[in-house]
Amino acid sequence: MIKKVEGIVVSEIDYKESSKIINILTKDDGIIGLIATGTKKIKNSLNGVTSKLTYGFFHLSYKENGLSRLIEVDVIDKFKNIRKDISLMSYSVYLLELADKVYKQGSNNEIYDNLIASLKKIDEGYDYKVIANIFELKMLEYLGIKPNFDECVNCGSKVDIVTVSSYRGGYLCKDCLHNEKIVSMKTIKLLRLFHYVDISKISKLDVTDEIKKELSEFIYDYYDRYSGIYLKSREFLENLEKI
């Protein structure tokens, strides 16, 4: 059966001498594994359109069980700006890998929509670190481990929130604070805003380096504590930041 799907390549591995096996996260059909025959040959029509971040309409000979075969790709967006910058590319590959892992644990079509919206914003020049943090926060809901950003996790109070704790699982008010690290009120507000915001509608991002650091520290620690997800691309990002 010939099928046309909208999707994006989230992973690729070499297959034999000149082919690839790719996985695409699709808008409507989840993750589909494809064999792209002869894609490494210079004159092959699939050369250049089967790498990670390829976003378009994929025409394939579909198999419900087993690998489908890729026929051709109509590219929607090449994300040219992302591909020209190692930092943008590294963060984007991280989002691809995270989306892939999250979808396999909590399949939801909104994962795809959030991924595409995030990549578009990064390509448009929005702060890639902040966009990545927003995407990470949204993925926690699909993993079933969303922090509580609506009230104090201990007493349920919606007033006098003074910090957020990855260990405690969300906001803490002044009466329930023990020895938790205090973060800025800006960080507290942004965590909730970023969790609920529609990424595609973001028109402005103004976040200081200090706030970015607090956001990332909370998010990374929360993932480490509760997600069970290990990503090589995140380790690469951490090493990249040290350079």
Percent of the chain with pLDDT over 90: 81
Average pLDDT value for residue range 123-143: 97
Average pLDDT value for residue range 63-89: 93
Nearest to 132 by CA among 95, 79, 83: 95
Percent of the chain with pLDDT over 70: 99
Q: What is the pLDDT of residue 39?
A: 80
Condensed to tens digits (0 to 9), the pLDDT of residues 113-132 reads: 999 999 999 999 999 999 99
Asked if residue 47 has pLDDT above 90, the reply is: no
Q: What is the pLDDT of residue 149?
A: 98
The CA distances from residue 62 to 29, 33, 54, 55, 183, in Å, are 11, 10, 19, 18, 51
DSSP string, the chain: -EEEEEEEEEEEEEETTTEEEEEEEESSS-EEEEEETTTTSTT-TTTTSSSTT-EEEEEEE--SSS-EEEEEEEEEE--HHHHT-HHHHHHHHHHHHHHHHHHHHS--HHHHHHHHHHHHHHHHT--HHHHHHHHHHHHHHHTT---B-SS-TTT---SSEEEEETTTTEEEETTT-SSPPP--HHHHHHHHHHHH--GGG-------HHHHHHHHHHHHHHHHHHT----HHHHHHHHHHH-
Asked if residue 215 has pLDDT above 90, the reply is: yes
Q: What is the pLDDT of residue 179?
A: 92
Band of pLDDT at residue 242, cut at 50, 70 and 90: low
Q: What is the pLDDT of residue 107?
A: 83
Band of pLDDT at residue 234, cut at 50, 70 and 90: confident
Asked if residue 110 has pLDDT above 70, the reply is: yes
Give the mean pLDDT of the chain. 93
Q: What is the pLDDT of residue 243?
A: 62
Q: What is the pLDDT of residue 235?
A: 82
Average pLDDT value for residue range 159-178: 97
Asked if residue 232 has pLDDT above 90, the reply is: no
Asked if residue 63 has pLDDT above 90, the reply is: no
Asked if residue 40 has pLDDT above 80, the reply is: no
Global pTM reads 0.93
Could you give the domains of the chain? Answer: 2-77 (2.40.50.140), 81-242 (1.20.1440.120)
